[in-house]
């Protein structure tokens, strides 16, 4: 099945190769790199480095969604991300994604140069988010999450993991289309680490091919997450090898976009895998 995203001045051919979304956390408390890019100049420079390393999208987030993270107001979130997006919009030719579930943040981010909405709530937490995305005509990433960041890891349980996630995402796509969002601009994310046990995360990756039933491109973000640290006994900044292993398996199993902290290693990994899948160098 062919997936090409066309909007505004952008075109992402997701059949041609695996695309890489570089993570830019403008937060003091994200699980992997909290505080590292909280300063405006450092955030902008890091995004430009990721661009040079081959990122296809820069995903800017101003609120940590790690387990048990505290909520912040829309104003505080905008204070963090809007100056970064404004600066990057003058420097980058690749699309900027705003990682938020708040309509006020998304609206301002789109005005300032963002052109993708990455909503961990799949448009559930803010009833106005869908209409903002529809009016803007931008791609929307709909992610599965059980609960909220504050409680999602309090003993998450499923009767049948993959079918439940598939049903959730099918409903999310239907809601988005009903709100006026073009189905051709919808991306789905099974939500690694969001209301999942370590074994759940592994099962999602092992059975990722089942998400082809959604007939939408699949994005996955396993980079540096806790299940990798649990298996390898590594801290977040030591999980590159484990992350590349998960990315390799996800690409083999059908991921179209992978979200990563270490863009350079991720681009090299997916470039090799895409060549192997094609069976040719070019």
**Where residue 2 falls among pLDDT bands split at 50, 70, 90?**
confident
Distance CA 153, CA 219 (A): 21
Distance CA 208, CA 188 (A): 12
CB 201 within 8 A of CB 156: no
Distance CA 228, CA 254 (A): 20
185-207 pLDDT, tens digit each: 999 999 999 999 999 999 999 99
Residue 49 backbone phi and psi in degrees, to 5? -65, -45
| Residues recognised as catalytic | 225, 259
216-226 pLDDT, tens digit each: 999 999 999 99
83-135 pLDDT, tens digit each: 999 999 999 999 999 999 999 999 999 999 999 999 999 999 999 999 999 99
241-265 pLDDT, tens digit each: 999 999 999 999 999 999 999 999 9
pLDDT for 36 equals: 64
pLDDT of residue 146 exceeding 70, the answer is yes
**Where residue 32 falls among pLDDT bands split at 50, 70, 90?**
very low
Domains and CATH numbers, the chain: 17-218 (3.20.20.20)
Residue (of 135, 129, 130, 136) closest to 113 by Cα position: 136
pLDDT of residue 227 exceeding 90, the answer is yes
């Amino acid at each position: 099945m062919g997936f090409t995203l066309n909007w505004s001045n952008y075109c992402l051919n997701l059949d041609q190769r695996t695309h890489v979304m570089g993570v830019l956390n403008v937060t003091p408390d994200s699980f992997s790199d909290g505080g590292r890019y909280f300063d405006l100049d450092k955030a902008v420079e890091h995004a430009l480095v990721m661009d040079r390393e081959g990122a296809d999208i820069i995903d800017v987030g101003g609120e940590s969604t790690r387990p048990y993270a505290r909520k912040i107001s829309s104003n505080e979130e905008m204070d963090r991300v809007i100056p970064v997006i404004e600066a990057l919009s003058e420097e980058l030719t690749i699309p900027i994604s705003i990682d938020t579930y708040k309509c006020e943040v998304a609206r301002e981010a789109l005005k300032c140069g963002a052109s993708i909405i990455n909503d961990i709530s799949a448009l559930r937490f803010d009833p106005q988010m869908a209409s903002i995305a529809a009016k803007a005509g931008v791609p929307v990433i709909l992610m599965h999450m059980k609960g909220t960041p504050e409680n999602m890891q309090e003993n998450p349980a499923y009767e049948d993991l993959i079918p439940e996630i598939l049903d959730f995402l099918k409903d999310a796509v239907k809601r988005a289309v009903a709100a006026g969002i073009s189905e051709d601009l919808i991306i789905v994310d099974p939500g690694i680490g969001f209301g999942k046990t370590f074994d759940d995360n592994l099962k999602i990756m092992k059975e990722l091919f089942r998400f082809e039933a959604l007939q939408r491109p699949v994005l996955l973000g396993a980079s540096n997450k806790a299940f990798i640290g649990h298996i390898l006994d590594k801290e977040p900044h030591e999980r590159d090898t484990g992350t590349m292993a998960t990315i390799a398996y996800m690409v083999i199993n059908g991921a179209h976009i992978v979200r990563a902290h270490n863009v350079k290693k991720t681009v090299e990994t997916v470039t090799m895998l895409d060549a192997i899948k094609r069976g040719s160098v070019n």
